[in-house]
Structure 1
Amino acid sequence: MSNAVVFDKGNYRFVPTGVNRYSAGVAAQSGYEICRVVFSEPVPVKEGFDLIQAVLEAEERPLTALCACELRSPEPVSDSGFNSFNESYVQTLTDWGLIKGKHNPVARSNVSPLVDAPAGPSFYAFSYTVDTDIEESTFVIAGSCEAPETPGDYKDVVVAYQDVSPEGMLQKARWVLDEMERRMKVLGFEWADATATHAYTVHDVHAFMASELARRGAIRNGLGWHLARPPVVGLEYEMDCRRVLNERVLVID
């Protein structure tokens, strides 16, 4: 994996991936911290971007301060359907001045809830950088499924493809945990630094809760288990994590 890249316009560093959909993770630069805002209910993507812009403007932060997005989708789609969504999503980031050369610095998680999924692609939460006097470092690691980020189709590189047996899920979880650790290491962090860890799957995680998640220290602050699927058909397990000290809920009327 590449070294972290500095994105001065946003006051953070990011870990580039092999695709332009999102970065693998972000960390605030010295003198800044990452704040996270959760919407009280999912907001359609276009409306979500408008609300994010309003929050950033109210706090006198540039649009380029946006550093992570958390999305919810109606249901898993094909690789081509996923690519179509990403084209419009990335266009907004381009318009906001967030694309650095061939890289997209904004981290992202995107999943489809098994119950009460939104009618269309929606925002669940977002993160951005602000000035701070605190000396604590903050970061957000993007959601990773059981497949490397490559320009090709996921189905060609999925770990234990179409295997949701206990052994198959263990293989998937191990790969994702390794990837989380790789991403954190690039930014200079480890599990002990994380304040929150989430898993997104509709399959049983108890079989490897102790042997993998707990043993590695991934759930020292507990595990947020979302009953949801990754956004592309054929993917079954996703995780993300973060160290964020300032989080709040934005109530949607």
Structure 2
Amino acid sequence: MSMIERPEGGFDFVPGSGTYCNDAVARPGFAIAHAVFVRALPLARAFEAARAYLEGLGRPMAALCGAEVRIAEPLSFDGFGAFNATYIALLDAFGLRVTVDGARQGAATRTNVAPAPHAARPVEPSLYGFSFTVPGQRPGGRKTFVSAGAGELPGGTRESIIRRGETTPDAMREKARWVMGSVVGRLPRLGVGVQDITHTNVYCVHSADGYWESEVLPPLGAQAAHGARWFHARPPILEVEFEVDLKGVLHEVWL
């Protein structure tokens, strides 16, 4: 899949869907940074806050290359489609989609999960954080990147969910194995590798016994020394149980 250039944003991206892109990597002279809201904000307010923050840095809204969405509960496939329709309208309002080969395409990655009830579940769709580009470079010239979240549904359909309806230790290992292979396997097309990862985020509500040691950390190689962050949250679609995203960023700020 060809990379799409977004010079006005300071990054290139791998197309995904009308809703989000699969991965983004900073262009030469730029680096990707990450911002987290201390308290997640409702989506429209959050994108306004992101725009104001970027303007304060002298950066355009086009520099936003990743979004981390939080919803109240997992959705059916139909419900997920309806949510995406409203999300697309918001992206259009903030100039976060572009035309690729005659079709409108999301130009920012997205991770979209539903926090468990005790983990600050939002009352409405909200933004936890976002990634953006700034002039600069990581030490050693390492590239910076952000990936969209991936769950264990290779075909994007309910029928393709790996070990659907199962959450046994063996099933969770198989789910985690496929997801980790998918997200790590996407890195080479960005010109990066596991050595460039700074953030490994896991979204799951099931015990990490077994699959963490056997499936999550080994693919990270030496970067496993930095650990992985576990969010007690469910992927956005019902019956999907395990999601991961990766980042390699210059720095992180809390807003």
TM norm structure 1: 0.91
1:185 equivalent in structure 2: 188
RMSD: 1.6
Partner-residue secondary structure (3-state), 1:111: strand
1:123 equivalent in structure 2: 127
**Structure 1 residues 175-184 or 217-226, which shifts more?**
217-226
Give the alignment of 1:174-213 within 5 angstroms: 174-213=177-216
2:112 equivalent in structure 1: 110
- What amino acid maps onto 2:8 in structure 1? K
Partner-residue secondary structure (3-state), 1:60: coil
Partners of 1:203 and 1:133 in 2: CA distance: 37
Moved over 4 A (4+): none
Partners of 1:105 and 1:91 in 2: CA distance: 13
Partner-residue secondary structure (3-state), 1:216: helix
- Residue 148 of structure 1: CA displacement? 3.2
Listed as ranges, the gaps of 5+ residues in structure 1 are none
- Residue 133 of structure 1: CA displacement? 5.5
Task: Kindly indicate whether the alpha-carbon contact (under 8 Å) linking 1:15 and 1:183 is maintained by their aligned counterparts in 2.
Answer: no
- Residue 137 of structure 1: CA displacement? 1.5
Partner-residue secondary structure (3-state), 2:187: helix
- Residue 125 of structure 1: CA displacement? 0.3
Partners of 2:217 and 2:159 in 1: CA distance: 30
Partners of 1:121 and 1:58 in 2: CA distance: 25
The count of residues paired between Structure 1 and Structure 2 equals: 245
2:237 maps to which of 211, 232, 235 = 232
Partner-residue secondary structure (3-state), 1:74: coil
Partners of 1:124 and 1:237 in 2: CA distance: 19
> What is the aligned-residue identity percentage?
34
- Say if 2:90 is the partner of 1:84: no
- What amino acid maps onto 1:121 in structure 2? P
1:37 maps to which of 35, 38, 61 = 35
**Structure 1 residues 128-137 or 52-61, which shifts more?**
128-137
- Say if 2:158 is the partner of 1:155: yes
Partners of 1:208 and 1:224 in 2: CA distance: 14
Task: Kindly indicate whether the alpha-carbon contact (under 8 Å) linking 2:142 and 2:196 is maintained by their aligned counterparts in 1.
Answer: no
Partner-residue secondary structure (3-state), 1:110: strand
- Residue 29 of structure 1: CA displacement? 0.3
CA displacement, residues 105-135 of structure 1 (integer Å, 9 cap, x when unaligned)? 2101111111220111101001111112553
- What amino acid maps onto 1:130 in structure 2? V
- Say if 2:52 is the partner of 1:46: no
Partners of 1:15 and 1:148 in 2: CA distance: 17
